[in-house]
Amino acid sequence: MSKSQLSKALSGVAAIAGVGHSDWIADYAAVRGGAKPHDSFGYGAIALKRALEDAGIDKSEIDGLVSGPPTAHERMCEVLGIDPSWGAQADAMMGIQAAAMAIHAGMCEVVALVYGNDQRSAAVNYGGSNAAGGNAFLSYIYHAPWGFTSQGALYAIMLRRFMHDTGFTEADMGQVAVAQRLHASLNPHAIMQKRVTIEDYLATNYVTEPLHLLDYCLINDGGVAFIMMSAERARRGKRKPAVIHGIGRHDLSREATSLAPRLTNFYRPAQAKVAEQVFNMAGVGPKDMSCLQIYDSFSVHIPLALEGYGYCGYGEAAKFLRETGISLERGLPVNTSGGHLSESYMQGWNHQVEAVRQIRGECGDRQVPDCRYVHYSSDVAGKALSIIYGH
């Protein structure tokens, strides 16, 4: 079977039947007050319990488990009381891909994907000489001798180059923070719900110029879990499932540690490959999407993805943000929960909770009318991956 045939074979095979997460607001407040409500495994266990309730199934039906970083897979199985016949350790993006393939191959029938992270209470360092991940994962660490040791520095350089090449401005960048805070104000689960203006955004301090404070994601504790099964079985379940119609992935590995692929071409070559895969697999295109959920550890991910996946032409992101818009009030809604900037930093997991809830029509004041397809995009650490959810 060719790669193209395999991709088409996966379309419509699997679906998310249940989602759950911890109480991000309460835990954020508790940690700020000096408490530590749970460790990473505890947050994952809370999320799984709620996902099982959401799906209307018993834990005994789970025969596959994906454990998200930073938790150890064997320990997660032990804590949750699950002895799966199939398992994997993967992030929010690759976990969905792996689970879909496992279900398609008949290796398991019901997969729980569980993520827990006590990153704020554990004071995880995402910058500096001892940044989380070290040389094994975060390639910019190789540049530490020259003082380049943080993700913020990387994305600041990317944004500066993007601004130079396209005429993009800081005010254009502020459109992202403003739109996502608007969405968060309509989300009872979001940590940061106070609306902001472009003037508010520009008035905040630089963290790493040209990135302002509101360009950075939150750092908070929490957990997320999904229950995934065949689409056929999910349709017989308690709730309307979010069916996976398309999955695409392409990495930028050549010259990766030099950071050249991201600093010269951003993610565009990988995004073009992924767009071809995911849209062809789903049989739809950018114009068919009801909303987008874009991984946003930093706000600059948004304009890069809009261009890379064909929602506007190269160099046209500023025009798109100004004239079309990315909010529920105007244009194509992006990160309708508030995303990592305003809802919760769950490393791509919470975006997919929002995708499922939008497909189900459960989002209340922030619900996208007649939501049929949701495109989830993640472009981080030199790899691009997209998933299209739908009915």
Domain residue spans of the chain: 3-122+217-386
Q: How far apart are CA 154 and CA 150, in angstroms?
A: 7
pLDDT at 259: 84
Helix (H, G, I), strand (E, B) or coil at 346: coil
What is the H or E stretch that residue 390 is in? strand 383-390
What is the H or E stretch that residue 166 is in? helix 151-166
Q: Taking 70 as the threshold, does the pLDDT of residue 135 lie above it?
A: no
pLDDT at 383: 87
Q: pLDDT, tens digit, for every residue of 150-186?
A: 889 999 999 999 999 999 999 999 999 999 999 999 9
Distances (CA, A) of 52 to 18, 32, 289, 363, 386: 6, 29, 28, 19, 25
Q: Taking 60 as the threshold, does the pLDDT of residue 1 lie above it?
A: no
User: Which tokens sit at 241?
Assistant: 């499932």
Distances (CA, A) of 145 to 129, 141, 324, 331, 382: 9, 9, 43, 44, 21
Distances (CA, A) of 244 to 17, 65, 230, 298: 11, 18, 10, 26
Better-predicted residue by pLDDT, 381 or 299: 299
Distances (CA, A) of 57 to 142, 174, 220, 228: 46, 43, 29, 11
pLDDT-based confidence at 222, cuts 50/70/90?
A: very high
**Is residue 71 within 8 Å of residue 44, measured between CB atoms?**
yes
Residues 305-317, mean pLDDT to the nearest whole number: 97
Residues 233-248, mean pLDDT to the nearest whole number: 96
Residues 355-377, mean pLDDT to the nearest whole number: 98
Q: How far apart are CA 44 and CA 385, in angstroms?
A: 23
CATH match for 3-122+217-386 among 3.40.50.1980, 1.10.1060.10, 3.40.47.10, 3.40.50.720? 3.40.47.10
User: Which tokens sit at 58?
Assistant: 């018993």
Question: Which ranges in 225-314 belong to alpha helices (H)?
Answer: 231-234, 260-264, 268-282, 301-308
Beta bridge partners of 206: 212
**Residues 6+ positions from 30 with CB-CB distance below 8 Å:** 36, 37
**Residues 6+ positions from 346 with CB-CB distance below 8 Å:** 21, 92, 115, 117, 222, 223, 224, 340
Better-predicted residue by pLDDT, 257 or 203: 203
pLDDT at 138: 65
pLDDT-based confidence at 131, cuts 50/70/90?
A: low
Residues 183-202, mean pLDDT to the nearest whole number: 98
pLDDT at 380: 85
Q: Taking 70 as the threshold, does the pLDDT of residue 4 lie above it?
A: no
Better-predicted residue by pLDDT, 43 or 148: 43
Percent of the chain clearing pLDDT 90 (strictly above):
85
pTM for the model: 0.95
As a whole number, the mean pLDDT across the chain is 94
Residue 214 DSSP code = G
Q: Taking 80 as the threshold, does the pLDDT of residue 233 lie above it?
A: yes
pLDDT at 146: 79
Instruction: Give exposure, 81-106, as e/b (b: 16+ Cβ within 10 Å).
Output: ebebebbbbbbbbbbbbbbbbbbeee
Q: pLDDT, tens digit, for every residue of 50-101?
A: 999 999 999 999 999 999 999 999 999 999 999 999 999 999 999 999 999 9
pLDDT at 130: 66
Q: How far apart are CA 252 and CA 315, in angstroms?
A: 21
Residues 125-144, mean pLDDT to the nearest whole number: 66
Residues 183-193, mean pLDDT to the nearest whole number: 98
Helix (H, G, I), strand (E, B) or coil at 308: helix
